[in-house]
Amino acid sequence: MPLTARRPWLTIALWFLLLAAAVPLLGQVTNHLGSGGFSAPHSQAAKADATVGHLVQPASVPTTLITGLSPSRLSSLAATAAMPAGWLHRLGARSEVLVPGQDQTVAKRFLALTRQQGAVLTAVNANTLGNAVSHQAIQAFKASTVVAVPALLILLLLVFGAVLPALLPLVTAGAGTVLTLAIVAIVERYVPLSVYLLQIVSFLALGVGVDYALFVATRFRAQLEAGAEVGDAVATAMRTSGRSVLFSGLAVALALAALVLGGTAYWRGMALGGAVAVGAVLLVTHTLLPALLRLMGRRASLGRIRFAMPEWRLWRILAHWATSRPQLALTLGLLVLAVPAVAAPALRASMPANVAAMLPASSPLAKAQAIEQQVRGAGEIAPFIVALTLRQDVTSPAAWLTVGRVTDKLRSLRGVAQVSSPSGRLSPQLLAASAAQTGSPLRAFISGPHTVDLFVTPASGPDSQATRHLLSRMQTGLRRVEGAKVAIGGQVAAVQEFNTYLASRLPAMAVAVVLVALVVLWLATGSLLQALLGVLLNALVTLSTAGILVTVIERGAFGLTPEPLNLAVAPLVFVMLFGLSMDYEVILLHRIQERLRHGDAPRHAATHAVATTGGMITGAGLIMVAVVAALLVSPFEILQTLAIGLVSAVLLDTLVVRTFLVPAAVTLLGRHAFWPRPHHA
pLDDT digits (tens, 9 = 90+) for 409-456: 999 999 999 999 998 778 889 999 998 888 888 888 999 999 999 999
Per the CB < 8 A criterion, the answer to whether 132 and 365 are in contact is: yes
Query: pLDDT value at position 406?
Result: 94
Instruction: Report the distance separating Cα 617 and Cα 291, nearest Å.
Output: 24
Query: pLDDT value at position 306?
Result: 64
- Mean pLDDT for the stretch of residues 638-653: 85
- The residue count of the chain comes to 681
Residue type, 263: G
How many C-beta neighbours within 10 Å does residue 22 have?
Answer: 19
Query: What is the distance of C-alpha 427 from the center of its chain?
Result: 52
Looking at per-residue pLDDT, the higher value among 681 and 392 belongs to 392
Query: pLDDT value at position 516?
Result: 86
Which pLDDT band holds residue 408 (cuts at 50, 70, 90)?
Answer: very high
Q: Is the dihedral of CA 412, 414, 419, 421 positive or negative?
A: negative
Give Cα separations from 297 to 233, 286, 356 (angstroms). Answer: 9, 17, 54
Instruction: Report the distance separating Cα 424 and Cα 507, nearest Å.
Output: 48
Query: pLDDT value at position 226?
Result: 84
Query: pLDDT value at position 296?
Result: 87
pLDDT tops 80 at residue 287: yes
Query: pLDDT value at position 32?
Result: 67
Which pLDDT band holds residue 302 (cuts at 50, 70, 90)?
Answer: low
User: Parallel, antiparallel, or unpaired for β 120-123 and 565-566?
Assistant: unpaired
Per the CB < 8 A criterion, the answer to whether 153 and 630 are in contact is: no
Which pLDDT band holds residue 308 (cuts at 50, 70, 90)?
Answer: low
> Among 314-328, 434-448, 450-464, 631-645, which stretch is predicted with the lowest mean pLDDT?
631-645
Looking at per-residue pLDDT, the higher value among 484 and 581 belongs to 484
3-state secondary structure of 277: helix
> Among 290-304, 394-408, 546-560, 654-668, which stretch is predicted with the lowest mean pLDDT?
290-304
Instruction: Report the distance separating Cα 651 and Cα 89, nearest Å.
Output: 48
- Which of 673, 527, 520, 498 is closest to 602 using CA atoms? 673
pLDDT digits (tens, 9 = 90+) for 578-595: 777 777 888 889 889 988
In order, the DSSP letters of 522-543 are HHHHS-HHHHHHHHHHHHHHHH
Q: Considering the chain, what percentage of its residues have pLDDT values greater than 70?
A: 95
For Cα atoms 249, 614, 330, give the angle at the middle one, nearest 5 degrees.
Answer: 100
- Mean pLDDT for the stretch of residues 387-413: 93
| Residues in CB range of 638: below 8 A, 6 or more apart | 196, 358, 566, 568, 569
- Mean pLDDT for the stretch of residues 237-242: 89
Instruction: Report the distance separating Cα 402 and Cα 410, nearest Å.
Output: 12
Phi, psi of 122 (to 5 degrees): -130, 115
> Among 235-239, 250-254, 414-418, which stretch is predicted with the lowest mean pLDDT?
250-254
Which pLDDT band holds residue 300 (cuts at 50, 70, 90)?
Answer: low
- Mean pLDDT for the stretch of residues 336-341: 94
Give Cα separations from 400 to 378, 394, 405, 427 (angstroms). Answer: 30, 7, 9, 8
pLDDT tops 90 at residue 467: yes
Instruction: Report the distance separating Cα 570 and Cα 536, nearest Å.
Output: 20
Query: pLDDT value at position 630?
Result: 75
Element (H, E) at 90: strand 88-92
pLDDT digits (tens, 9 = 90+) for 372-384: 999 999 999 999 9
Query: pLDDT value at position 28?
Result: 79
pLDDT digits (tens, 9 = 90+) for 210-223: 888 888 888 888 88
pLDDT digits (tens, 9 = 90+) for 321-332: 999 999 999 999
Instruction: Report the distance separating Cα 95 and Cα 2, nearest Å.
Output: 62
Which pLDDT band holds residue 305 (cuts at 50, 70, 90)?
Answer: low
Instruction: Report the distance separating Cα 443 and Cα 395, nearest Å.
Output: 12
Instruction: Report the distance separating Cα 484 and Cα 502, nearest Å.
Output: 29
Which pLDDT band holds residue 112 (cuts at 50, 70, 90)?
Answer: very high
Element (H, E) at 255: helix 243-257
pLDDT tops 60 at residue 680: no
pLDDT digits (tens, 9 = 90+) for 517-542: 899 889 888 899 999 999 999 899 99
Query: pLDDT value at position 390?
Result: 93
Instruction: Report the distance separating Cα 185 and Cα 101, nearest Å.
Output: 44
**Averaged confidence pLDDT in the chain:** 86
Per the CB < 8 A criterion, the answer to whether 364 and 67 are in contact is: yes
HEC per residue, 432-474: HHHHCCCCCHHHHCEEECCEEEEEEEECCCCCCHHHHHHHHHH
Per the CB < 8 A criterion, the answer to whether 307 and 158 are in contact is: yes
- Mean pLDDT for the stretch of residues 501-522: 87
Instruction: Report the distance separating Cα 451 and Cα 51, nearest Å.
Output: 8
pLDDT tops 80 at residue 286: yes
Give Cα separations from 517 to 255, 480, 575 (angstroms). Answer: 8, 47, 10
In order, the DSSP letters of 382-416 are S-EEEEEEESS-TTSHHHHHHHHHHHHHHHTSTTE
Element (H, E) at 349: strand 349-350
Instruction: Report the distance separating Cα 24 and Cα 43, nearest Å.
Output: 39
Which pLDDT band holds residue 204 (cuts at 50, 70, 90)?
Answer: confident
Where do runs of H (alpha helix) occur along 552-658? 570-597, 602-629, 637-652
- Mean pLDDT for the stretch of residues 602-614: 90
pLDDT digits (tens, 9 = 90+) for 51-61: 888 888 777 88
